[in-house]
A and B are shown apart, each in its own frame.
Chain A
Amino acid sequence: KNEVEQSPQNLTAQEGEFITINCSYSVGISALHWLQQHPGGGIVSLFMLSSGKKKHGRLIATINIQEKHSSLHITASHPRDSAVYICAVTPRGSQGNLIFGKGTKLSVKP
């Protein structure tokens, strides 16, 4: 079993829809990260969370430490949001190395 599991693997949405991507992990962590990888391949950090909720623009990330679960929400989705979204965790006690989920491929249709 992978230490970081994401669902769904693939997601197709219509422009304007509210999107949720889920991430569950099985190890103790000091932080959880959401990353975005565009078709060109570049990887960008969206959020780093250790508790609660963070918001940036149309993106919201939440984490429940007790349940070892995080969600990434996209409100009013747009075709430019199409990308692979990757959940990653920093194991507790580590110096910042990441363990990654397999990613969720999101396609937003106009």
Chain B
Amino acid sequence: DAGVIQSPRHEVTEMGQEVTLRCKPISGHDYLFWYRQTMMRGLELLIYFNNNVPIDDSGMPEDRFSAKMPNASFSTLKIQPSEPRDSAVYFCASRQRRTGTGKVYVGKDTQYFGPGTRLTVL
């Protein structure tokens, strides 16, 4: 499996523009998480889905942020309009069903992270 795929890897945009980040989870994983990483705040959960349904979006900063998961193999995180303070690395992660199996030293609750999208809003 190719792992969690995110695109684009880098995005530079101007304030006020719409930004769309994309994620393809690992096939068979039924949980998908969006995280944001900044120097000041570290990693923070934005939103997560189970079976394509949003479960908890309390970490979404404000109405400018929205996330969708139209099917089991694709999710988007949209920022409209973007602001300089949105500059961060955005990670997507997926996790398999709790009844699945994992390696000896990691469990079935292990999250697998994508490479991240580095967003710069000028």
**Could you tell me which A residues sit within 8 Å of B by CB distance?**
31, 33, 35, 41-48, 50, 54-56, 86, 88, 90, 95-103
Contacts and interface: CB of A to CB of B under 8 A. Distances in A.
Which bracket fits the contact residues of B?
20 to 34
B45 interface: yes
Nearest to B31: A96
Interface string B1-19: 0000000000000000000
A98 B111 contact: yes
B105 A99 contact: no
12 contacts: A41-B118, A43-B93, A43-B116, A45-B111, A47-B105, A48-B110, A55-B105, A86-B42, A88-B43, A96-B33, A97-B45, A97-B56
A47 B107 CA distance: 8
Interface in B89-113: 89, 91, 93, 95, 104-107, 109-113
B45 A41 contact: no
Nearest to A41: B116
A41 B115 contact: yes
Contact of A43 (B50, B91, B118): B91
Contacts of A46: 105-106
A86 B50 CA distance: 24
A110 to B, nearest CB: 27
A85 to B, nearest CB: 12
A30 to B, nearest CB: 8
Q: Would you call the interface of chain B mostly helix, strand, loop, or mixed?
A: strand
A56 B110 CA distance: 15
A45 B42 contact: no
Given A31-B107, A101-B42, A96 B95 contact: yes
A48 B112 CA distance: 12
A43 B113 contact: yes
Contact of A103 (B31, B42, B110): B42
B122 to A, nearest CB: 21
Contacts of B115: 41-42
A95 B30 CA distance: 11
